[in-house]
Amino acid sequence: MFSGLLTKVANVLRGIGHKLVDQLWRFGGAVRFSGYVLLYSGESFRRLHLTIREIYFTGVMSLIIILVSAFFVGMVLALQGYNTLQKYGSSEAIGVLVALSLVRELGPVVTALLFAGRAGTAITAEIGLMKATEQLSAMEMMAVSPIARVVAPRFWAGVISMPLLAALFSMVGVLGGYLVAVPLIGVDNGAFWSQMQANVDFREDIVNGVIKSVVFGVACTMIALFEGFDAPPTAEGVSRATTRTVVNSSLAVLALDFIMTSFMINP
C-alpha cells in the first residue's frame, strides 16, 4: 500500500522531470540555433538578393494587413479617446492620446502580433515543409549550409522589415486618428497637431518605439525559424509547429513589451 503510493509519486515526479529536461533540451537547441544563425549571417549580406527576396515576402506582402489595421486602430483610438476626453473638457488632447498610444505601444506590439500571424507562420510552414521533403538534407549533401542559405536571409529580412512596418503602422494610425478627430468630429486642427508635437518626445517615445519593434522583430523571426527548423518532418508536425509559432511569438512579444516598458518608463 505504502510502496504503491511511493511509486505513484515517483512516477508523477519522473513525468515532471522528463518534461523539464525535454524543455531545457529544446531551449538549448534554440540557443545553439540562434548562435548558428548569427554565425552564418555574413552569407546573407554577401548574397544580398536572397535577403531582398525574403524582405519582399515578409515585409512587402505584410503591408496590406498592417496598413489597413493601422488605419482602423487609429480611427477607433480617436473615437474612443474623444468620447472619454470630452467628459473632462480636454478633447484637444486627442492628438497626444492617439500619437503616444500608437508610437509607444500599439505600433510595435500590434505590428509584431500581425507579423507573427502573417509572416511568422509562412516562414515556419515553408521551412518545416522544406525539412519534410528533405530539401534541407539535400542541401547539406551538396555542402550548402541550409542555415546560411535558407535561415539567415529570412532572419535578417524579418529584423529589417519589423521596424519599417511598425513605423508605417504608427504613421498611418496617426493619419486615421487625424481623419476621425479633425474632419469628422471637429476637433481644432491646430490644437490636434500642436498638442501632439508638444508632448511626444523624439528620444523618449519615438526611438523607444523603434527599439521595441527591432526586439520584437528578432524574437518573432527567431521563434518562427526555430519552430520550422525543429518541426517533426510530417504533415502533423508542420501544422503543430505553425500553431506554436503564433502562440509563442505572441506571448514573447507581450512579455518582452512589459519588460521593456518597465525599463523605459522609469525616470
Partner 1 sequence: MERTTIDLWVGIFAAAGMAAILGLAMKVGNLTSSSVGETYTVTAAFENIGGLKARAPVKSAGVVVGRVDGIRFDSKTFEAVVTLKLDKRYPFPTDTEANIYTAGLLGEQYVGLEIAGLEDSNLKEGDKIKRTQDAVVLEKMISQFLYSKAAETPTDASK
Residues in contact with partner 1 by CB under 8 A are 49, 52-53, 55-56, 59-60, 63, 99, 103, 160-161, 163-165, 167-168, 170-172, 174, 193, 196-198, 200-202, 205-206, 210
**Which lies closer to partner 1 via its Cβ, residue 81 or residue 128?**
81
Question: What minimum distance in Å lies between the beta carbon of 185 and partner 1?
Answer: 19
**Which lies closer to partner 1 via its Cβ, residue 63 or residue 65?**
63
Question: What minimum distance in Å lies between the beta carbon of 63 and partner 1?
Answer: 7
**Which lies closer to partner 1 via its Cβ, residue 103 or residue 246?**
103
Q: Which helix (H) or strand (E) holds 126?
A: helix 121-132
Question: What minimum distance in Å lies between the beta carbon of 131 and partner 1?
Answer: 25
Tally helices (H) and strands (E) across the chain: 13, 0
221, 155 Cβ separation under 8 angstroms: yes
Q: How many other CB atoms are found less than 10 A from the CB of residue 173? A: 30
127, 33 Cβ separation under 8 angstroms: no
Please state, in angstroms and rounded to a whole number, the distance separating the CA atoms of residues 172 and 128: 34
Count of alpha carbons within 13 angstroms of residue 249, beta-carbon side:
34
**Which lies closer to partner 1 via its Cβ, residue 116 or residue 200?**
200
DSSP string, 185-208: I---HHHHHHHHHHH--IIIIIIH
Question: What minimum distance in Å lies between the beta carbon of 73 and partner 1?
Answer: 15
Question: What minimum distance in Å lies between the beta carbon of 117 and partner 1?
Answer: 19
**Which lies closer to partner 1 via its Cβ, residue 157 or residue 246?**
157
Question: What minimum distance in Å lies between the beta carbon of 245 and partner 1?
Answer: 23
**Which lies closer to partner 1 via its Cβ, residue 79 or residue 214?**
214
Q: How many other CB atoms are found less than 10 A from the CB of residue 262? A: 9
Please state, in angstroms and rounded to a whole number, the distance separating the CA atoms of residues 72 and 176: 7
C-alpha grid cell, residue 61: 506582402
